[in-house]
Chain A
Amino acid sequence: MKFGRRAFLQFAAGAVGGTLLSPLPWKLADDSAIWSQNWSWRPSPERGLVSKVPSTCLFCDGGCGIQVHLVNKKNAIYIEGNAANPVNQGGVCPLAASGCQFLYAPYRVSQPLKQTKARGDASGFQPISWEQAIGEVGAALGKMRTSGNSQGLAGISGRPRSSMFHLWRQFFSAYGSPNLFQMPSHADSLELACMLTLGHEATPAFALERASYVLSFGANLLEGWGAPARMQSVFGQWRQERAGIAQPKIVQIEPRLSLTATKADEWIAVKPGTQCALALGIAHVMIKNHLYDDFFMTSQVVGFEDWIDAGGNTRQGFKSLVMQNYAPAQVAEWTGVAAARIEEIAGQFAAQEYAVAIWGEDGGKTPDNIYSDLSFLALNLLKGNMQPGGMVSLVPPVPLEVLPEVQMDQWAYRGLQQPRLDLTQTRQLPLPGNGLYAFLDTINRGGSPYSVEMLMIYEANPVYSLAENRLIKEALGKISSVVTFTSYMDETALQADLILPNHMALERYDDVIGLPGVPYAYYAVSRPVLPPRLQTKHTGDVILALAATIGGTVKGSLPWKNFEAFLQSRVKGLAAAGTGALAGKPGVQPWALQSGQAPKSNYKNPKDLWNKLTSGLCWYGPPVDALQQINTASGKYELACVSLQNRGVNVEDAAVYLPHFAPLTPSGDAQAFPLLMMGYRRLNISSEYLANPPFMTKTLWDFLLKGNDLFVEIHPETAKSLGLKQGDRATLTTPEGEVKVRIRIFAGAHPGTVCVVHGLGHTAYDEYIQDKGININDIIEVQMDPITGMGTVWATRAQLARA
């Protein structure tokens, strides 16, 4: 025992000493440190050569040129802007910069899925083969058609400014259904406004690159208005210091201190929904002080002075109406902007040679009240902006090859004779456009004269992003078959019976035809920068396959081998037109072109043009003056919408023909809902088809989103009167429903309003996206424009109470 302990002690001492003197501890320390530097669970990026592939961004309508960085030509790691592209000039928006996160999104649909359980049950989706999927849809379509219900096919399409939409239209026409709709956008109402005033469908464009004074009636220039990256780039140019040259003055007229407002030179905190009245008040001052071109307004314009209608009656003209109803004192009362201030702004606006009025709240995502669009156009007309070379022109059409005439058989003919389903309850709309809401209303009301058997939804997520999305949810319940063409398992796809996954934007051919609000002609092609990752199929090819399955005239009307061939055929027309050129290197300034002045073409033949377009170069052409292609009966700008006479509008009401301030009243009791809820958008929150990628969610401030809580903005006074404090939890109630939110007291909010950001509150996708905040579209209210049937959104009555 004694020996043992002693020996043990000696041994232990020896062992300790020996170990310390040996290299063992040092080696172990070193090895463990090396181990900590090479943990196997630390992701190790694949090494390899990095190459850049140019293409065009499809994440919004902005048409930016991009360069996708690839490792070993197969992994996309980064998206940068293409400096040669005149739209974004090398910059990108955060959505494009996040683009690879969509390519590698865990929530992508990897193959055709068929719902085998109740709709909305994600576990019910069973993978099927493409043959089976196309076979089944083709067979169903064929059966509907031969049973005389081709009109029972309806469609909702995203990405209206693309050849894909033209292909959809061709398919629907050949198939025999009038019921193809687009996701709503401001272009819907603008097109109708141009139809009324210029006699053809077009959207206005603004030469902002050379503006010296910008009067923005709530246009969120920096938050997604128009082509977002173009606006960013233009803004950077506006704020560029140039010795001896004054920077343009930006006046933002908006109830809420938006990003654009805080970045503007002046912010005019107008009362919600009264921008149109202010525009007419400014027109009043300009007319009163004779700050307009009298000769032009009388010789080129119908309805500025009093005019005579078809029945021979003298009607009030714009001048008289504005002088009578929009005196600064009256407008001040509506808008909360002092009369003197209105006079001052009008003076500045009239005095500046390159002054322009722009508008479009909600970033151009929803149609405007038609009379607002007409009023803002009128203000620009009065300023002389619509004259040749003026600040306001039209988004020029792109001379792509026209699609071949649709071949009709009896089924197609019969189907197209059926009424389109955007009917209102009482009567045919005076001015039908993209009446998606009227369509949903008809379905939900059971007012359709025939049954809608199948709804196809392409690159859109209306169940989430459509304002008052209850309407589409309800409508889906009444349609027996829903097929979606999407790359992602979004809220709409979850409600589908069949998902036919499209290639993701970086994996496919596609194009961008014209840019919203941009005065020069623009065309760009997106090409697959890498092979499809998953078992997806280009929706264009699926349409062609469906047409082939149906056969006959449907197949004959869509004769292309594949979508790429279709796109090539369209570019042939562009090449033949010869009105534009390719922007091949940085510094090209298409906005400097004069109307009708085509740049020297720099491609050899259609093949060469196609090759250059697919290598990332964009095509551009000159602007189109607003009055260049006038198509009205009078041949003049119809400030008084004379054509409404023939459209069944109540002719007794004088104002109906003229731009005027006609706010649509939100529903609900003003006592029970004392506040007005208004949505706003941010460039770092994707609010439409695409979900917010994790990269962008990371950039959200914690006073906007904390955990899963969304903060809504209210004015300090409003907070005080409601007894709410910073960060309080509250219930936000509108006639549409209620949600739980938290309070952010924000001195930039208008008193009496509650401002809610768009783009959060998803229920689909993955843990990086879902359940963060609330979706404003769940509680927003849409007001239908009585003239156009379009769903307009400006404010919803609301109430906030401490929760």
Chain B
Amino acid sequence: MDKALIPDGVKRSPFPVFAGWLLVLFAVIGWGVYAGIVVLLKALNVTGLNDYFGFGFYITIDLAIIALGAGAFFSGFLFYGMSRFFPALKELYKIINLAVVVGFVCYTGALAVLLLEIGQPLRGWFGYWHANVHSMLTEVIFCISCYAIVLVIEFVPLILENRKLDAIKPLHLFGHSLHEIMAIFALTGTFLSFFHQGSLGGVAGVLFGRPFAYRTGFFIWPWTFFLFILSAVASGPAFTALICRTIEKAGRKQLVDRSVYDLIAKIVAAFLSIYMVLKIADTLYWALDLAPSFGFKLTDFYREPYGIWLLVVELIVCGIIPAIMLLIPQARARNGLLFTAFALTCIGVVINRFVMTVQALAVPVMPFDSWQVYIPTMYEYAPGIAMLAYCALVISLAYRYLPLFPREKELNPH
């Protein structure tokens, strides 16, 4: 059965090894599901959240994973939308399937965690029914769930490419026709994604009662709206590349041409650089103009454990340094440096999402308030880790049973 499902002409690890790996993942997922059920039954008091930290680990990991999952929409946008004008981008077709799968798992995983995060998950759909058009969160709810549907639609033809499913004629036809119109979905997804990546930034940026997070902006969108889009655009493809590299390492074979990584590196370099220029400009404007106008100094915002080191690591170590590394062709050419730069980029985005969520709340606004420290409990990180395990699970299954990499067969001739 297992053999029958594996795509033609590719080599996969023996089933027992794979089954063992699945078992590990299922154990982690089981642990997370247990924690999640406890949260649902006993309510959120089992978490480390409180009235001071209304947002915590759940939101941080959701924001981070959605930013990292942005590879799907952005690769799609470049491949389906931009490659007409920049034929070089056609290269992306070699990795686009993986990008879609990564996007799919990131978004569906994030939605699952989001259900735990809200106190009344049964009313989660009120966001559609009683929508407040002014709320950035409404924008997020709409765009994320719509985009998740788009990702499902994008993922389905991939699944149908499975050897056994493809053999079924109607399914083959269905999958084929979906392929034909995929550009439409990719571009719809692009549109939705730009919006929700932005509105996730808007979630923090519109908090005019929170000087740490608040930003002025353009029309209804605070600057964080655009910064979140850019940082997601920069880090998403980097994350996809990292996943691809991880699979290559695990499978001990090449799955995409080196040129693909090189192309992604150029893309990341370009957008990370733009992002960093704007982010630094934003930080300077915030630290020197906006916050002082509310009576805050930059140093008011940082106190251990949420020290200024966070800003240094986010902007310099995980921002400027990888941007420079990726801008230098010699560095790009060396795998070690290339993937280090990708990893730093991703870490930088995760720190950014953490800072905009947790630190934004740790900073006391009323002068007689006190600094608080947020410590998540097992009931928060277990579902988070399980969500990552779920991502790994789906990617593993997809890699094993679906022809994700069009060049795999050619790159690994028997």
Chain-B contact segment, one of A32-40, A103-111, A244-252, A258-266: A32-40
- The answer on a CB contact under 8 Å between B125 and A29 is yes
Q: In the bound complex, what is the Cα–Cα distance between A9 and B168 (angstroms)?
A: 11
B120 on the A face (CB < 8 A) = yes
Apart from A32-B122, A33-B123, A33-B126, list 10 A-B contacts with CB within 8 A. Answer: A6-B168, A9-B168, A29-B122, A29-B125, A33-B122, A33-B125, A35-B122, A36-B120, A36-B122, A36-B123
Q: In the bound complex, what is the Cα–Cα distance between A6 and B123 (angstroms)?
A: 37
Smallest beta-carbon distance B304→chain A, Å: 17
Residue interface mask B58-100, A partner, CB < 8 A = 1 = 0000000000000000000000000000000000000000000
Q: In the bound complex, what is the Cα–Cα distance between A29 and B128 (angstroms)?
A: 12
Residue interface mask A35-52, B partner, CB < 8 A = 1 = 110000000000000000
13 contacts between A and B (CB under 8 A): A6-B168, A9-B168, A29-B122, A29-B125, A32-B122, A33-B122, A33-B123, A33-B125, A33-B126, A35-B122, A36-B120, A36-B122, A36-B123
Q: In the bound complex, what is the Cα–Cα distance between A35 and B123 (angstroms)?
A: 10
Chain B neighbourhood of A33, CB < 8 A: 122-123, 125-126
Smallest beta-carbon distance A23→chain B, Å: 15
8 A Cβ contacts from B267-285 to A:
none
Smallest beta-carbon distance A295→chain B, Å: 55
Closest to A36 in B: B122
8 A Cβ contacts from B143-178 to A:
168
For the complex of A and B, list the 5 residue pairs with the smallest distance between their C-beta atoms, beginning with the closest.
A32-B122, A36-B122, A33-B123, A33-B122, A29-B125
Interface size on B, residues (CB 8 A): 6
Chain B neighbourhood of A9, CB < 8 A: 168
Closest to B165 in A: A9
Chain A neighbourhood of B126, CB < 8 A: 33
Most chain A beta-carbon neighbours within 10 Å: one of B122, B123, B125: B122
Q: In the bound complex, what is the Cα–Cα distance between A6 and B165 (angstroms)?
A: 10
Closest to A32 in B: B122
Query: What is the number of contacts between chain A and chain B, taking CB atoms within 8 Å?
Result: 13
Chain A neighbourhood of B125, CB < 8 A: 29, 33
Q: In the bound complex, what is the Cα–Cα distance between A678 and B254 (angstroms)?
A: 79
Chain A neighbourhood of B168, CB < 8 A: 6, 9
Q: In the bound complex, what is the Cα–Cα distance between A9 and B125 (angstroms)?
A: 29
Chain A neighbourhood of B122, CB < 8 A: 29, 32-33, 35-36
Closest to A33 in B: B123
Q: In the bound complex, what is the Cα–Cα distance between A385 and B346 (angstroms)?
A: 80
Q: In the bound complex, what is the Cα–Cα distance between A314 and B122 (angstroms)?
A: 92
Chain A neighbourhood of B120, CB < 8 A: 36
Closest to B119 in A: A36
Q: In the bound complex, what is the Cα–Cα distance between A32 and B122 (angstroms)?
A: 6
Smallest beta-carbon distance B172→chain A, Å: 13
Q: In the bound complex, what is the Cα–Cα distance between A276 and B142 (angstroms)?
A: 74
Q: In the bound complex, what is the Cα–Cα distance between A6 and B171 (angstroms)?
A: 11
Smallest beta-carbon distance B371→chain A, Å: 14
8 A Cβ contacts from B11-58 to A:
none
Residue interface mask B98-125, A partner, CB < 8 A = 1 = 0000000000000000000000101101
Smallest beta-carbon distance B50→chain A, Å: 13
Residue interface mask A314-352, B partner, CB < 8 A = 1 = 000000000000000000000000000000000000000
Smallest beta-carbon distance A164→chain B, Å: 45
Smallest beta-carbon distance B40→chain A, Å: 12
Chain B neighbourhood of A29, CB < 8 A: 122, 125
Closest to A37 in B: B123
Smallest beta-carbon distance A706→chain B, Å: 14
Closest to A10 in B: B170
8 A Cβ contacts from A1-60 to B:
6, 9, 29, 32-33, 35-36
Q: In the bound complex, what is the Cα–Cα distance between A9 and B170 (angstroms)?
A: 12
Closest to A35 in B: B122
Closest to A31 in B: B122
Q: In the bound complex, what is the Cα–Cα distance between A62 and B18 (angstroms)?
A: 79
Q: In the bound complex, what is the Cα–Cα distance between A35 and B122 (angstroms)?
A: 9
Smallest beta-carbon distance B165→chain A, Å: 9
Smallest beta-carbon distance B77→chain A, Å: 29
Smallest beta-carbon distance B255→chain A, Å: 30
Smallest beta-carbon distance B393→chain A, Å: 21
Closest to B171 in A: A9
Q: In the bound complex, what is the Cα–Cα distance between A794 and B45 (angstroms)?
A: 44
Smallest beta-carbon distance A318→chain B, Å: 49
Chain A neighbourhood of B123, CB < 8 A: 33, 36
Chain B neighbourhood of A35, CB < 8 A: 122
Smallest beta-carbon distance B41→chain A, Å: 13
Q: In the bound complex, what is the Cα–Cα distance between A29 and B126 (angstroms)?
A: 10
8 A Cβ contacts from A679-722 to B:
none
Q: In the bound complex, what is the Cα–Cα distance between A170 and B168 (angstroms)?
A: 104
Q: In the bound complex, what is the Cα–Cα distance between A9 and B160 (angstroms)?
A: 13
Smallest beta-carbon distance A40→chain B, Å: 15
Q: In the bound complex, what is the Cα–Cα distance between A126 and B123 (angstroms)?
A: 50
Smallest beta-carbon distance A106→chain B, Å: 23
Smallest beta-carbon distance B113→chain A, Å: 20
Most chain B beta-carbon neighbours within 10 Å: one of A6, A33, A35: A33
Smallest beta-carbon distance A4→chain B, Å: 14
Smallest beta-carbon distance A306→chain B, Å: 58
Q: In the bound complex, what is the Cα–Cα distance between A711 and B120 (angstroms)?
A: 38
Q: In the bound complex, what is the Cα–Cα distance between A29 and B122 (angstroms)?
A: 7
Residue interface mask B353-368, A partner, CB < 8 A = 1 = 0000000000000000
Q: In the bound complex, what is the Cα–Cα distance between A33 and B125 (angstroms)?
A: 9
Smallest beta-carbon distance B162→chain A, Å: 13
Chain B neighbourhood of A6, CB < 8 A: 168
Smallest beta-carbon distance B265→chain A, Å: 41
Smallest beta-carbon distance B160→chain A, Å: 12
Q: In the bound complex, what is the Cα–Cα distance between A12 and B62 (angstroms)?
A: 31
Q: In the bound complex, what is the Cα–Cα distance between A32 and B120 (angstroms)?
A: 10
Q: In the bound complex, what is the Cα–Cα distance between A6 and B167 (angstroms)?
A: 11
Closest to A6 in B: B168
Smallest beta-carbon distance B198→chain A, Å: 28
Chain B neighbourhood of A36, CB < 8 A: 120, 122-123
Closest to B170 in A: A10
8 A Cβ contacts from B185-234 to A:
none
Q: In the bound complex, what is the Cα–Cα distance between A567 and B172 (angstroms)?
A: 97
Smallest beta-carbon distance B86→chain A, Å: 39
Smallest beta-carbon distance B175→chain A, Å: 13
Q: In the bound complex, what is the Cα–Cα distance between A132 and B126 (angstroms)?
A: 63
Q: In the bound complex, what is the Cα–Cα distance between A617 and B123 (angstroms)?
A: 52
Q: In the bound complex, what is the Cα–Cα distance between A590 and B125 (angstroms)?
A: 62
